[in-house]
Structure 1
Amino acid sequence: LARRKRFCLLELSLNRRLAPDVYLGLVAVVETSGGLRLGGRGKAVEWLVKMRRLPEERMLDRLVARSAVSRRDMERIAERLVTFFRRAKRSPLIRRYGESSQVATLALGNLKECQPFVGTLFAEADRAFLEAAFRQYLALHEPLLVRRVRERRMIDGHGDLRCENICLPVGQAGLTKPVTIFDCVEFEPAFRCGDMANDFSFLVMDLEFRGRVDLAQALVARYRKRLRDPTFDVVLPFYKCHRSLVRAKVRGLAWLQHPRTAAGRAVRKLSRRHFQLALRYARRFAPPRLIVVGGLIGTGKSTLAKSLAESLGAIWLRTDEIRLTEFAHLKQPREGFAEGLYAPRVSALVYQRLIERSAALVRHGRSVVCDGMFSKAVGREALRAVARRHGASFHFFECVVPRGVALRRVARRYARKADLSEAQPEHYDRLRAGFEPVRGWPERDWSWLSDHRAPVATYQAALVALRRAWSLP
C-alpha cells in the first residue's frame, strides 16, 4: 500500500508539469463500518489519483480522425513541448539515459522483445534488418550521441507522447489556454528520461502512422524554429523507428491475449503496420554500406573486417571462406604458389562470386563487409561500381603493416592452422610484387590503415575514417 501511494504521488507530481489543472490530488479509499468510501476517516486500503475529466471530443486522436486539426494546432503543441523541454529536469543521473550504451540497450532490448512476433506479424529477414540498422546507426553515430549528452539534451521527459494523451482546449477561449498533455510514464524512468528528440519523436511517429504527414511536418517545423538543435534531423528517424517498434510490440501483445476476436484481429493489423513503418524509418537512417577490407597477408584484414561487420550489423563476406566452401573440389594434395585453389583462374571466380553476393545483398538494403586481399584493381573497381549502382556508401581500407610484423603473424597462424587462409610466409614477397596500388580514387573512397597497434585501436580508427568519408556528424 505504501508503494502504491508512492507511485500515485509520483504520477501526480510528474503529470502536473503538463496538466496542472487536471491532476487534482491524492484520494484514499478508506474502510469504514459502512463499507468502502472515498476520503474521510478510516483505514486506507487503496490510493487513487483524483483527476478532472477531459472532453473526449477534444482529444487529439479524435480530432485527427475527424480531420479537425489545423497547422496552428500543431504549432501550439510544439510550443508547449519546447517550453516543457527547456524547463525539464536535468541531472547527472538523467544524462546517463542518453549514453550510447543505454540507447543501445533500450532499442535493441525492445527489438528482442518483439521476437515472439517473428513469423506472424513480421518476417525474420525484417527483424534481422532492423537489428543491423540499429547496430549500424549506433556504431557510426556514437560521437553524435555523446555530443548530444554534452549539449544537455537529456531530460526527465514525458515518455508517452501520443495523440491519445493530448487534449486541445475548446473554442476561441481555448486559444489562450495551454494544450493539456497527460498520462506520462511514471513507473519506469528509462522510458521517460533521455534525449528530448526521443520524447518528441513519439508524437511525430504517431501522426505519420495515422496518415497525417502534413501535421507531423508542421509540428517538426515549429520545433526546429523554436529550439536550436542542428542534429535533430539526424537522430529523429532512429528514434521514430524505436517508437514505432514499441507500439508494434504493445499491440502485438494485446493481439496475443485475444487472437481470435474481432478486436484482436484489428489490433494485429495495427501491429503489422507499425512494424512496416519501423522498416521504412530504418531504411532512411541506415542506408546500405559496402566496405571492402584489403591488403597483403598478415596485415589484420580479417580481424578488422569481423569487428566492422559485427558492430555495423553487416554481412561479412570472406574470399577465404568462398574459396574453401565453393571451390574445394579444385584443391590439390600439394599446392605450390598460385596453384590449385589459388590459381589465377580460381581466384578470379572467387572474387566474382563475392562481387555477385555483395550486389544481391546491397540491392536488398543490407550492408556488407568484404574481406580479401583485393590486390587487383579490377576487383576493387567492380565493388565500387556495385555500390554506385545500388546507392550504397562505399569505402576501401588497405591494411598495411611492416614486412617483419606480417611475416611473424603469418608464420604463427600457419603453424597453428588458426585461420581459413593457407598463406605461408614464403608467399609474402611474391604477393606484394603483384599488388596493384590504388590510383585516382578520392579520399572519401579509400584509406590506409596500419594494423601494428591493438586491434581495437585499428577498429576505432576505421570508424573515424568512415565517419569522415561519409560526412557523418
Structure 2
Amino acid sequence: MQRIQTLLVKGLCNPACYDHPVDQVELVETHISWVFLAGEFAYKLKKSVNFGFLDFSTLVKRHHYCLEELRLNRRFAPELYLGVVNIGGSPEKPVIGSTPAIDYLVKMKRFSRQNELDSLLQQNHLTPPMIEQFADYLALIHQQAPRIDSHKYFGSLESIKAPSQENFDHIRSLLPDSDHQHQLTELERWSQSRFDNLCNLMVQRKEQGFIRECHGDVHLANMVWLNGQPLLFDCIEFNDNFRCIDVINDCAFLLMDLDDRGAESLSCRFLNRYLRQTGDYQALPLLNYYKSYRALVRTKVICLRLSQPGLSDAERKVDKDRLQSYLDLASRYSESRKVSLIISHGFSGSGKSTFIDQLVPLCGAVSILSDVERKRIHGLELTADSYSAVDSGIYTDQVSQQTYNRLLELSETILISGFPVIVDATFLKQQQREQMRQLSRNLKIPFVILDFHLEEKELFRRINFRRTQSGQVSEATAAVLGKQLELAQPLTKSEEELTIKVYHDSSVEIVTALINKSRTV
C-alpha cells in the first residue's frame, strides 16, 4: 500500500488531475496525511497507517474517517469544509471525482497559510487582543459542546490514563538514546503520582459535565485568523477518546504550544481570559498534568516521524532537537514553582485593572476580579448592568462579603494549583485584607499589597468617563466612589511593610521586579 500511495501522491501533484484551474500544486506532509494545495482548494489524503491510536490502514476506514472529519469540523468551520471526493483513475494518473474510488480526499476551501496562528506568531503579528478573542471563542465552543454522559467511558479515569500511558510506551520504544530514556522514566513517575493525586478531581469533573465533545487538537497550526475572526479547523476525527475530553485538556495543547514557542505572555493572557469567561478555576490543578501530556504527544509524533523513511540527515537533526525540547518542556511542567499572593488596594478608577492586566503576563499569574465574580455569583453576564444603587442590589454589604469570600476561595485554589494570584479588588476594609494575609500565612507564601494612588479629582473624572463607555464590567459611579472615600480604612503599619506603591506613571517592569524580589525573601 505504501508504494501505491507514493505513486498516488506523485500523481496528485499534477495540476491536470483536478477539475478546476490549478497552476501548481503545493504538498504539505504530516505523519498521518498529505495535503495538496491546489488553486482555490486544499485536499487531504490520509496515509495508510496504523499506529494503534489511529487506524487508516484500509480504504473503508479512510473513507469513514474522511466523512467523520467533514462532519466534526463543520461544527467549527462549515465555510471551510466542502465535502469528501473520490479519487478515480489509477495511482499514476488519478482523476478527482471519478469512480470507482481508489482513495478519498477531504476537500476544503483554501486560505492563506500566513493567517494561521503559528505563522502569525512567527511574524510577530499575533497580538494580545487576538489571542484573547480566541479565548472567548474557545470558551463559547466549550460551553456549547455536547456534554458526555457521566456513565460513558469518555472522561473516566481509565480513558484519561490510557492515552498518557500509550505516549510513554510509544516513545520508549522509539527513543534514540539512554539519556532520553532516563528523562522519560522520571516523567512517567511524576505523571503517575500526579494522576493518583488528581483522581478525585477528575471523577468530580466528569460528574459535573466538564467532559465534552471538544476539538481535541487545539494548537497554533490548527487555528486561523480569517476575515477578522478566529476560526478552528482540523479537529481529531480518528479517535473519540482524544476528542471527548475535559475542556481544560483541550486548552492545554494551545497553552503548551505557546510556551514551547517562547510566547509565555500570550499563553498567560489566553488562560486568564478563558478562566474569566468560564469561571472554571477548579480546573487549574489539572493544567500542568495535561500540558505535560500534550508536550509528550508532540514528542510521540516526532518519534513516529523519525521512524518513517525518506527524511534527510538535516531533517532528522531538526527533529531530534525538537524531541529534546519537548521532553524538557514536559519536565518543566512537573516542577513546582514559587508562588505569591498579591492583592490590590485602591479606589474605583485608580487604574488597578489596567495596570494588573499588564502585570499578569510578566508574573505568570492568574488574576481574579471582584467585579467579575460578584456578577458571576448572581448569574449576570460580565458586562451586564445590574442597575443596582449604592448599598442595594448586588452591592449590599452582605453581597460584598460574599464576593470577598469567593475571592478568598478562588485564591486558595489557584495558589495550591501552583500559580501566583493577583486579586483585583478595592480591599478598602482591613478585615478583607486580613483574610488574604492569613491565607498567605497558612500557605507560607509571600503576601504583597499593590497600593494604587491617584488624585481625588482624577478619580471622579475617570469614573464619570467610564460610565459613558459600553461593555464595562465595573458599575462604579461617582456616588459609589464618594462612599468609598468616606468609609475606607487605611493600611495599617504592618500592612505598609508589605506594600508596593503604584502611581499613574509607575513602571510595570519595576513593580514586577519588586514582586519577584519578595518571593526570594
Instruction: Give the aligned partner of residue 72 of structure 2.
Output: 14
Q: Runs of 5+ in structure 2 lacking a partner? A: 1-58, 338-443, 445-521
The one of 53, 56, 62 aligned to 1:4: 62
8 A Cα contact 1:108 1:134, kept in partner: no
Instruction: Give the aligned partner of residue 220 of structure 1.
Output: 271
The one of 195, 198, 201 aligned to 2:249: 198
8 A Cα contact 2:148 2:154, kept in partner: no
Cα RMSD (Å):
2.6
Residue aligned with 2:335, SS: helix
Q: Which amino acid aligns with 2:203?
A: V
Instruction: Give the aligned partner of residue 255 of structure 1.
Output: 306
Residue aligned with 1:141, SS: helix
The one of 236, 240, 249 aligned to 1:185: 236
Per-residue CA deviation, residues 57-101 of structure 1 (Å, 9 max, x unaligned), is 111111111111110110111111111111212233785222222
8 A Cα contact 2:148 2:244, kept in partner: no
* CA deviation after TM superposition for structure 1 residue 267, in Å: 1.1
Does residue 274 of the first structure (1) align with residue 326 of the second (2)? yes
8 A Cα contact 1:95 1:149, kept in partner: no
Cα distance change, pair 97–76 in 1 and its aligned pair in 2 (3 A): same
8 A Cα contact 1:121 1:268, kept in partner: no
Where do 1:229-308 residues align within 5 Å? 229-257=280-308, 261-284=313-336
8 A Cα contact 2:88 2:103, kept in partner: yes
Where do 1:336-351 residues align within 5 Å? none
Residue aligned with 1:92, SS: coil
Q: What is the percent sequence identity of the aligned residues?
A: 29
TM-score, normalization: structure 2? 0.50
Instruction: Give the aligned partner of residue 188 of structure 2.
Output: 131
Per-residue CA deviation, residues 349-368 of structure 1 (Å, 9 max, x unaligned), is xxxxxxxxxxxxxxxxxxxx
Where do 1:49-88 residues align within 5 Å? 49-88=106-145
1 or 2 for the larger relative contact order (CA 8 Å, sep ≥6)?
1
8 A Cα contact 1:121 1:272, kept in partner: no
Cα distance change, pair 47–140 in 1 and its aligned pair in 2 (3 A): same
CA distance in 1, matches of 2:261, 2:144: 30
* CA deviation after TM superposition for structure 1 residue 181, in Å: 1.2
CA distance in 2, matches of 1:77, 1:83: 10
Cα distance change, pair 261–151 in 1 and its aligned pair in 2 (3 A): same
Q: Runs of 5+ in structure 1 lacking a partner? A: 286-390, 392-473
Cα distance change, pair 10–260 in 1 and its aligned pair in 2 (3 A): closer
* CA deviation after TM superposition for structure 1 residue 151, in Å: 1.3
Per-residue CA deviation, residues 238-269 of structure 1 (Å, 9 max, x unaligned), is 00000001101211232344676101100110
Instruction: Give the aligned partner of residue 216 of structure 2.
Output: 159
8 A Cα contact 1:30 1:37, kept in partner: yes
Cα distance change, pair 94–46 in 1 and its aligned pair in 2 (3 A): farther
CA distance in 2, matches of 1:271, 1:281: 16
Instruction: Give the aligned partner of residue 25 of structure 1.
Output: 83
CA distance in 1, matches of 2:148, 2:326: 33
Q: Which amino acid aligns with 2:171?
A: C
* CA deviation after TM superposition for structure 1 residue 229, in Å: 1.0
CA distance in 1, matches of 2:279, 2:66: 35
Residue aligned with 1:168, SS: strand
TM-score, normalization: structure 1? 0.55
Residue aligned with 1:199, SS: helix
* CA deviation after TM superposition for structure 1 residue 141, in Å: 1.7
* CA deviation after TM superposition for structure 1 residue 106, in Å: 1.8
Residue aligned with 1:91, SS: coil
Q: Which amino acid aligns with 1:98?
A: G
* CA deviation after TM superposition for structure 1 residue 38, in Å: 2.5
Cα distance change, pair 259–232 in 1 and its aligned pair in 2 (3 A): same
CA distance in 1, matches of 2:183, 2:97: 53
8 A Cα contact 1:244 1:275, kept in partner: yes
8 A Cα contact 2:211 2:247, kept in partner: yes
CA distance in 2, matches of 1:244, 1:95: 27
Q: Which amino acid aligns with 2:68?
A: L
Give the structure with higher Rg (CA): 1
Does residue 115 of the first structure (1) align with residue 207 of the second (2)? no
Residue aligned with 2:101, SS: strand
8 A Cα contact 1:197 1:232, kept in partner: yes
Residue aligned with 1:138, SS: helix
